[in-house]
Amino acid sequence: MMTQSLLQWLLFIHILLVNMTLPCVAKVPAVIIFGDSTVDTGNNNYIQTLAKSNFKPYGRDLQGGNSTGRFSNGRLAVDFISEAFGLPKLVPAYLDPSYEMKEFSTGVCFASAATGYDNATSDVFSVIPLWKEVDYFKEYQTKLKDFQGETLAHETLTQALYIISIGTNDFIENYYTMPSGRSTEYNVPEYEDFIVGIAKQFLTSLYNLGARKINLTGLPPMGCLPLERSKRLLSLGNCNDDYNKVASDFNVKLKGMMDVLNRDLVNVTIVYGDIYGILMDVTQNPGIYGFEDAAVGCCGTGVIEMSYLCNSRSLSCSDADKYAFWDSIHPTEKLNKVIADKMMNTTLHVFL
């Protein structure tokens, strides 16, 4: 007859083996996305703007060459993140009429390419401003409650992962480009503070609407984007260190604001997505990540082509996986996977 201690030991081994074979059950029932072209999965297809990518060669490596409106040759980082949480491999755009609430209940994207925190930024290309993205989210909440019921919808909205990637356009599209724009009102540190203030209001609004798990991505090293490097012919196309410093300084302020909200808001977890660090490392050490080129994009010459300048007549590279960037601003699918993996391993793992 077995002793009690032996029975307990066998029971422990059994439980251990069962747990080792069970798949990981995600604690995140949906991903909800706000931002710009880095995370826009196709919303701009349905508005009147020049900021589009629903044509060849965009999407050439996605589902047999499907140009969905993603600014890449394939999937975006948010698509890979969704998959990592056991959710669908592609996050649907909210304005896409081919999707229904069944698909939107596990993931939805409100992002709009070329937008920013600043309303003046969205005006440049007549895209969806951030406040309108929030309005769409409110509309989505009503539809979700009708589809799932109040109780389940509340659980989905409070347990969902909210991903926000925005801000670069406020500087390179607005502040540094528009001659009569924000640069006439603010110096750079003042504009950084202005944008951080909008970001704080936005995060607070999401919190008041039920968000409790939030990933806020900072700015990339803007001066190392192929478009910005192409402007520096006298310095042999090196990164614009001034732009990179602005991004770095802004990120410090952004993280400081997030610390305040994490302290002051109840039951919220806001994590910082460090896009600056990973892109800087890729730029400086492309070979480590399997890239042959991180200075120009795959599409056309790779230095100015984006949106309609990257089209079916562009002589694109044969293998996008060799390039960190797809066009003069946006990552290739391979780099998007690198970004997603980095975020899952450094910050987003807290939500698993």
330 is catalytic: yes
Selecting among 61, 82, 327, 328, the annotated active-site residue is 327
Q: Strands of 48-200 (E only): list them.
A: 107-109, 161-165
Dihedral pair phi/psi, residue 137, rounded to 5° = -65, -40
Q: For the purposes of burial, counting CB atoms within 10 Å of the CB of 143, is it exposed (0-12), middle (13-18) or buried (19 or more)?
A: middle
327 is catalytic: yes
212: alpha, beta or left, given left = phi > 0 and alpha = psi -120 to 50? alpha
Segment 258-263 long-range contacts (CB within 8 Å, at least 24 positions apart): 258/203, 258/216, 260/200, 261/200, 261/203, 261/204, 261/207
Q: How is residue 316 annotated by DSSP?
A: -
Selecting among 72, 79, 96, 330, the annotated active-site residue is 330
User: Rounded to whole angstroms, how far apart are CA atoms 204 and 164?
Assistant: 13
Identify the sign of the CA torsion 157, 201, 339, 21. negative
The runs of H, that is alpha helices, within 231-327 are: 241-264, 275-284
Q: Which H, E and C letters describe 147-168, residue by residue? A: HHCHHHHHHHHHHCEEEEECCH
Query: Which residues, 6 or more positions from 240, have their beta carbon under 8 angstroms from its beta carbon?
Result: 222, 223, 224, 228, 229, 231, 232
14 is catalytic: no
- Residue type for position 323: Y
- Residue type for position 333: E
Q: Which two tokens stand for residue 17?
A: 């083996």
Pairing of strands 293-297, 31-35: unpaired
Selecting among 37, 105, 316, 328, the annotated active-site residue is 37
Q: Which two tokens stand for residue 165?
A: 């990637």
Could you give the residue numbers annotated as active site? 37, 327, 330
